Amino acid sequence: MPRADPRGGDRDGSLVSHNGAMRVVVLTGAGISAESGVRTFRDSGGLWEGHDVGAVATPEGFARDPDLVQRFYDARRRAVLEATPNPAHRALARLEETLEDDLLVVTQNVDDLHERAGSQRVVHMHGELRRARCQACGHRPAWDDDLADSPPCPECGERTLRPDVVWFGEVPYELDRIADAVSRCDLFVSVGTSGSVYPAAGYVALAATSGARTLELNLEPSEVAHLFDEVRTGPAAELVPAWVVELRGALTR
């Protein structure tokens, strides 16, 4: 789709350009899965399910106590398998039906609730719980079983599988593709993220300096809320479907 207005909207604040063309990037965080019963990271006082994040989400923590870390992610994987998408995930899947390649969901979440809701254009910048990564050969097989009992890698046979999640101190996935999409979008929307982990927290600034309109949908204003053109507060399962109805209506006018 061609771009009509580089800010993706009229200067009066409308989110859609005159000919309805729009490229949209939606950045999601733990808050979008909260109403599916998947716990967020920072809402419980810096602890993640009762664990210090440094112990279970760093390469150093894994080197110190691999068994603890594997069991921790095994439990998270089982919880995600039992969770189901909520109206916010489903609304983004509906939006993709309208926008197709003009919508990219960039998620920091390691669950697969976007995909199970029907979204196909999803980038998991922090990896995926339902995938393992072999530290010997780099193979990344789909994985729904526990890893704590050190199963062999299906590719090389070594017992060196770890969860395919990005830990602090490691480089997130697909950064070039994300930066390209963010810098070329007309509308950047952030959903359910505290804005405290970079590079994701920096995407609003990249979008804004590239000329996009920016919107935050979060339970409370995030740490980077002041950088957005508009901030709406409330639960994602209410805010996201309402925003998608609004946007789809404007696009089809």
Please choose, out of 14-22, 92-100, 132-140, 216-224, the segment that lies near ligand OAD by the rule CB under 6 A. 216-224
In the residue annotation, 124 being an active-site residue is answered as no
Please identify which residue in the block is written with the tokens 């300096």: 209
Partners of residue 82 on adjacent β-strands: none
Spell out, one character per residue from 164 to 203, where the chain touches ligand OAD: x when CB under 6 A holds, - when not. Answer: --x-x-----------------------xxx-xx------
**How many CB atoms lie under 10 A from the CB of residue 35?**
18
Phi, psi of 165 (to 5 degrees): -115, 145
The yes or no reply on residue 51 touching ligand OAD (CB under 6 A) is no
Partners of residue 142 on adjacent β-strands: 131
Which CA distances in Å does 165 have to 31, 40, 90, 220? 18, 16, 24, 27
CB-closest chain residue to ligand OAD = 31
Kindly tell me which residue out of 203, 222, 227, 243 binds ligand OAD, with binding defined by CB under 6 A. 222
Report the site for ligand OAD in 86-125 (rule: CB under 6 A). 108
User: At its nearest, how many Å lie between ligand OAD and the CB of residue 175?
Assistant: 13
d(CA 75, CA 137): 25
**How many CB atoms lie under 10 A from the CB of residue 134?**
21
Residue 211 gets the label, from left (phi > 0), alpha (psi -120 to 50) or beta, of left
Report the site for ligand OAD in 134-163 (rule: CB under 6 A). none
Residue closer to ligand OAD by CB (options 88, 181) is: 88
Please choose, out of 62-70, 75-83, 153-161, 213-221, the segment that lies near ligand OAD by the rule CB under 6 A. 213-221
Residue closer to ligand OAD by CB (options 16, 105) is: 105
Which residue in 18, 124, 126, 226 is the catalytic one? 126
User: At its nearest, how many Å lie between ligand OAD and the CB of residue 58?
Assistant: 9
Which amino acid is located at 101 in the chain? D
Residue 114 DSSP one-character state: H
Burial of 45 by CB count in 10 Å (0-12 exposed, 13-18 middle, 19+ buried)? exposed
Phi, psi of 127 (to 5 degrees): 85, -170
**Helix, strand, coil share (%) of the chain residues, nearest 5:** 35, 20, 45
Continuous segment of H or E residues that includes residue 218: strand 213-218
The yes or no reply on residue 30 touching ligand OAD (CB under 6 A) is yes
User: At its nearest, how many Å lie between ligand OAD and the CB of residue 62?
Assistant: 13
Kindly tell me which residue out of 17, 23, 24, 40 binds ligand OAD, with binding defined by CB under 6 A. 40
Residue closer to ligand OAD by CB (options 5, 111) is: 111
What does the binding site for ligand OAD look like in residue numbers (CB under 6 A)? 29-31, 34-35, 40-43, 53, 57, 108, 126, 166, 168, 192-194, 196-197, 218-220, 222, 235-236
